[in-house]
Amino acid sequence: MSGKKYVHVCLTPRLIDQYDVSDAIVVVIDVLRATTTMCVAFDHGVNHMVPVATIDEAVALGKQGYIVAGERSGEKVEGFDLGNSPFSYTREVVEGNKIVITTTNGTRAIKAAQEHHAKEIVVGAFPNISLLTQWLIEQNENVCLLCAGWRENVTLEDSIFAGAMVRRLRHNFARYQDTAIVAESLFQTANRRKRFFFRFSSHFNRLTHLNLQGEVKYAMRKDTHPVLPLMVGNALYDISHCEGDYKEYTQSLLAAQEVSA
């Protein structure tokens, strides 16, 4: 039991400077849709995913055999193989492959956590909530729930998800700041009416304009893709199959990255 460890909630990457993430596992949250999509991709067998901030970086990796994925303003970037729809990341498309992905907020939040030297970075969304919270409890480390938000603003859906995580972690961690309590209270208010609350969110409106309401509904479903995407070097890998200490596995991945560099 992690007596003195804390759970912090950083409601937008803009506030990450306020947190010492070098001593915390950072959970990057972009429920609509980047981290939901990543969970789907890993559950469907993608080998690894490299999150990048810019279209140019994605295109460059595309020349090295990566499937190139990402969106801007919710729409697939012209010339890319995939957008950011969880429905596109089918087993047929992704299994055994490597993907480079750039999104408006989700991949940027991952980069922000990296730049601030997070101890570990994992990806969270409703599809992996139970496995992720259980894993965090087992790690006995500080936790920072980093909401990707929208262009550095706070978003309803990411805050609600952070609150759902706080709710589940609460009894295993000791210290909370106000933002964790804000998120948890929001979740408690929204919990049984999540669909209603999500409809208020600005990103729901953006996705509705693109006729993507089905994706919002899909993103709200819990435990549909129980994976643990963890940053190892410059890429996300699923560590959900690791029994016991996952670090041996990540060391071997890092060594392999060095050899191929």
Instruction: Please give the residue ranges that form the binding site for ligand 3SL (CB under 6 A).
Output: 30, 32-34, 71, 74, 84, 103-106, 148
Q: Residue 111: CB partners within 8 Å, gap ≥ 6?
A: 51, 52, 53
Q: Between 36 and 250, whose beta carbon lies closer to ligand 3SL? A: 36
* Least separation in angstroms between CB 256 and ligand 3SL: 28
Q: Between 7 and 113, whose beta carbon lies closer to ligand 3SL? A: 113
Q: Between 33 and 111, whose beta carbon lies closer to ligand 3SL? A: 33
Which residue from 158, 46, 155, 138 is spatially nearest to 91, judged by alpha carbons? 46
Q: Between 47 and 88, whose beta carbon lies closer to ligand 3SL? A: 88
* Least separation in angstroms between CB 151 and ligand 3SL: 8
* Least separation in angstroms between CB 71 and ligand 3SL: 4
* Least separation in angstroms between CB 255 and ligand 3SL: 31
Q: Between 72 and 167, whose beta carbon lies closer to ligand 3SL? A: 72
* Least separation in angstroms between CB 32 and ligand 3SL: 5
